[in-house]
Amino acid sequence: MIERRRSKIHGWGVYATQTIPKNTRIIHYAGEKISNQESLKRERRYIKRGHIWCFKLTNRTVIDAGVGGNIARYINHACYPNCYIHIVDGVIWIRAARKIRKGEELTYNYNTDGEGLIKCRCRPGCQVLL
């Protein structure tokens, strides 16, 4: 249903290989479960490379897709995304916010609460900092 390819937004992206109906569970965000404190250390390293791979699950737990992650980590941010996040029983699911066409890049809003060190590239002229 999806594959990783080069992205016009940033580095690698994830693309639909077939039409994906609205609300479909596409993929879960896999990775190592770590403490929020440990994620702060790792995030500093990732941000230097322009990546955000730590996904806050709870106030205490973070999923680090840089360790044991799947291709969900390559889904890029967009201010007007075609996917959304749905957390069920400690699993972070990426779901289709609308019908996604074959060949379309998947995106979701990262809703970061960090220091805004990475500039959004979802469209020309976007001024959002992640």
- The 10s digit of each residue's pLDDT in 36-85 is 999 989 988 888 887 888 999 998 999 999 999 999 999 999 999 999 99
Residue 30: inside a domain? yes
CATH of the domain at 80: 2.170.270.10
- Into how many domains does the chain fold? 1
Residues 6+ away with beta carbon under 8 Å from 10: 50, 76, 121
Mean predicted confidence (pLDDT) in 6-29: 97
Residue 116: inside a domain? no
Residue 113: inside a domain? no
Tell me the CA distances in angstroms from 44 to 30, 39, 54, 55, 108, one per residue in order: 20, 9, 10, 14, 22
Of the ranges 32-46, 95-109, 112-126, which one carries the lowest mean pLDDT score?
Answer: 112-126
Domain extent, residue 99, equals 2-108
Residue 60: inside a domain? yes
Q: What whole-number distance in Å separates Cα of residue 55 and Cα of residue 74? A: 13
Residue 32: inside a domain? yes
Residue 49: inside a domain? yes
